[in-house]
Amino acid sequence: MFTLRRAKSLTLVVVLALVAFLAAGCGGSKEQAGGQQDQQAAPAKVQRMSISTGATSGTYYPLGTAIANVLTNAGLGLNVAAESTGGSIENARLIAQKQTEIGFVESLIADWAYNGKEMFKDQKVENIRGLMSLYPNTIQTVVKAKSGIKTYRDLKGKKVAVGIQGSSSPLAMQAVLESYGMSMSDIKPQYLAFGPSMELLKDDQVDAVMVDAGAPNSAIIDISTQHEIRILSIDPENINKIREKYPYFSQPVTIPKGTYKGVDEDVVTTGSLATLCVRADLPEDLVYNITKTIFEKKDEIAKVHEKGKSINLDTATNGISIPLHPGAEKYYKEKGVLK
């Protein structure tokens, strides 16, 4: 019995010594142990977020991807993904449903969403807040040079791709047509995204494609390398008419000649302002850090897409009629943009 008891005691000592050795060997110093714990805890602290953008052939998606990458790599504890969507209207509804945190929403759509107007009259989006204004979503209606179409009046009776139904693009075309005394019933609207529409234009299956996005646009660049194209200008007096009815459209914007291959004349146009919006329930410090990071890293964003250059403190709140998120407002007050 004595031998058995002694053997058991010896076994216990060996086991305890082995446990202590493993703890010391695996844990190392206090600093190393703390480092391991931090590494193990870090994944749980990462917050997943999404930026709702638009069609992959537009400007929102590549710009949103650039912003998502910058936010993910900024050490904010965020893993941000850009999601392709139907555009402004869908993005406002995704914010309402808390299915996205950040969304590209045109200034006019944001106003309608927050105030329950137009398509939002039965679905008021009370939790949408402004983050920053970016650039005018310039209306660029593309036709083949050989088509004979030179003005918007020439679109009467033509097949015109006007963007995805449910997005703000058809509304932009409607606004332009109204200024010329026309309506959507005067054309044959085709509700398609920019990319597929351009493929149809290449094959003469549509007569015109309306793109409301920042210039230069990748879909227009693509077709301009294969076909001679024309981009229709909007007469200044018609832009005034549009702005009288839709004050969230921009002053006349000039797309310089040479922006697209073969387009050797300046194009005069307008557009609703592209803005970033967020959910009202996001924490103030989080939105403050997101706003701060986007402005501080705007050069990195611009390397991915030229429209990153439009991120400008001087115009950060232009065209935003809905309330700003308190986190964004705090940053702008620090920078002297707001009093």
Residue 319 has φ and ψ, to the nearest 5°, of: 75, 0
Assess whether pLDDT exceeds 50 at residue 37: no
> Using the 8-state DSSP alphabet, how is residue 324 labeled?
B
* Class of the CATH-defined domain 136-272: alpha beta
pLDDT digits (tens, 9 = 90+) for 292-321: 999 999 999 999 988 899 999 998 998 888
Query: Which residue has tokens 């209306």?
Result: 139
Contact 197, 206 (CB under 8 A): yes
Burial of 57 (0-12, 13-18, 19+ CB in 10 A): buried
Kindly indicate the confidence band of residue 216, based on its pLDDT and cuts at 50, 70 and 90: confident
CATH architecture of 45-135+274-334: 3-Layer(aba) Sandwich (3.40)
| CA distances in angstroms from 243 to 139, 184, 213, 248, 326, listed in the order given | 14, 19, 18, 7, 29
Q: 45-135+274-334 and 136-272: same fold?
A: yes
In this predicted structure, which of 37-41, 106-110, 126-130, 262-266 has the lowest mean pLDDT? 37-41
Element (H, E) at 52: strand 47-52
pLDDT per residue over 240-268, tens digit each? 999 888 877 888 999 999 999 999 999 99
Q: Which residue reads 């990458």 in tokens?
A: 69
Split at pLDDT 50, 70, 90, the class of 178 is very high
Share of the chain above pLDDT 70, in %: 86
What is the CA 57 to chain-centroid distance, rounded?
A: 12
The more confidently predicted of residues 237 and 339 is: 237
pLDDT at residue 141 is higher than 50 = yes
Would you list the domain boundaries of the chain? Answer: 45-135+274-334, 136-272
What is the pLDDT, as a whole number, of residue 20? Answer: 42
Q: How do 102-106 and 47-52 pair as beta strands?
A: parallel
In this predicted structure, what is the pLDDT of residue 15?
40
pLDDT of residue 223: 97
Cβ–Cβ under 8 Å, residues 161 and 201: yes
